[in-house]
Amino acid sequence: MGEAMEDLDTLVLRMVQDWQLGGIPVVLVTVARTWGSSPRPPGSLMAINDQGVTVGSVSGGCIEDDLIDKVRQDGIQALCAASRPSVLRYGISADEAHRFGLPCGGTIELVLEAVSTLSRIDDLLVACRRRRSTRRVLDLQTGEVTLDDGDRDGVPSLDAHSLTTFLGPQIRLIIIGAGDLPRYVCQIALSLGFEVIVCDPREQHETWDLDGVTMSREMPDDLVRRLQPDSRTAVVTLTHDPKMDDLALLEALDSSAFYIGAIGSRRNTQSRRSRLKEHFGFSDAALSKLRGPAGLYIGSKTPAEIALSIMAEIVAAKNGVELGESVQTAKDKAQSVARPPRAAISETTPVMPPILYLNLS
């Protein structure tokens, strides 16, 4: 079993914690506001220690390089005083925008804070591990931080007195099934910063070890019930085995998961919906949460391409993008039934020779 991969925010906070515990001075940098085009959105995190070592990013690299140069030339105190945070703006002029890699004259405003016990990094990491969405308010006069419950997707704000940001649980993907297709789905999900859990209790199916993936031999319904999918969780079933997939879907459809998908043919998808409705009492409204067949239509042929189509649909759902039926796999499969053959056999069409079947008994 590989160690679960961290999303970028958690990685930055953990490194800040490690440096702090090691007595290494560190500055936490937050993207507070942007105007025009900007490589990184508000709320993005970066940390830099007194040796000029960084984790995370706030731009395409040029701003990071400038901050590193400041630290190496004048020490970490060049970024902000130990007692209070500072605000730094890049890209005010067209020349600066070009120098710092900000397209179209974009401007980015950063808040830099010298990390101390007032920063409450430990408490913030605990909240993230417990999958709690948290609002973090930094007092710009004192450097003191207050934490309370908040919307993970809240919009960061900066005024003369404070910086308010929102952090929370990592996006999580629960996959039922451990075949070739799930492996490709895992690889793409990990590259996108998802926490990935794979469940397959079937003894005849060998599980594989992939760094960053948590493997489970639990029954799918037990696993989903234990993990209690929240609004930062996606569930997709990939076994083609109704006994396995349905167990997970029964629990997932009663959860707050932002995405619930199942692979299968158009006919199997209709049979699944009928079973869930007739035998388990799910309403049409509840079943509308189920994406099936999972994925966007991109003409997928190989397991890797199918995995890409599934992850594209999951990311779209995560980002709140409403997709038309024309790009959904389900719609394309429905239309394919009515499509005529690509070419009819004619007199000029080469005819295949007869196929001989040999009886070897």
Q: What is the pLDDT of residues 217-231, one digit of tens each?
A: 999 999 999 999 988
Predicted confidence at residue 344, as pLDDT, reads 43
Name the strands in the sheet holding 290-291, side by side, starting at the edge strand that comes first in the sequence. Answer: 213-216, 195-199, 172-176, 233-237, 259-262, 290-291
Average pLDDT, the chain: 84
Domain 172-336 has CATH 3.40.50.720: yes
CATH 3.40.50.720 residue ranges of the chain are 172-336
% of the chain at pLDDT higher than 70:
80
* Alpha-carbon span 248 to 40, nearest angstrom: 36
Predicted confidence at residue 38, as pLDDT, reads 66
* Alpha-carbon span 30 to 47, nearest angstrom: 9
Residue 90 backbone dihedrals phi, psi, to 5 degrees: -120, 145
Quickly count: other Cβ atoms within 10 Å of residue 237's Cβ: 31
Burial of 294 (0-12, 13-18, 19+ CB in 10 A): buried
Q: Are 269 and 292 in contact (CB under 8 A)?
A: yes
Q: Are 305 and 274 in contact (CB under 8 A)?
A: no
Predicted confidence at residue 357, as pLDDT, reads 53
Quickly count: other Cβ atoms within 10 Å of residue 21's Cβ: 10
Predicted confidence at residue 280, as pLDDT, reads 86
User: Looking up tokens 């994406």, which residue turns up?
Assistant: 291
* Alpha-carbon span 313 to 318, nearest angstrom: 9
Structure tokens given for 291: 């994406």
Q: Are 261 and 310 in contact (CB under 8 A)?
A: yes
- The neighbouring-strand residues paired with 111 are 30, 87
- The neighbouring-strand residues paired with 136 are 147, 165
Stretches where the chain sits below pLDDT 50 are 1-3, 336-338, 341-347, 349, 361
Burial of 125 (0-12, 13-18, 19+ CB in 10 A): middle
Structure tokens given for 153: 């997707």
User: Looking up tokens 């605000």, which residue turns up?
Assistant: 87
Cα-Cα-Cα-Cα dihedral sign, residues 78, 79, 84, 88: positive
3-state secondary structure of 296: strand
| Beta strand ranges found along the chain (DSSP E) | 26-35, 45-49, 54-56, 86-90, 107-114, 134-139, 145-149, 157-158, 162-167, 172-176, 195-199, 213-216, 233-237, 259-262, 290-291
Q: Are 145 and 170 in contact (CB under 8 A)?
A: no
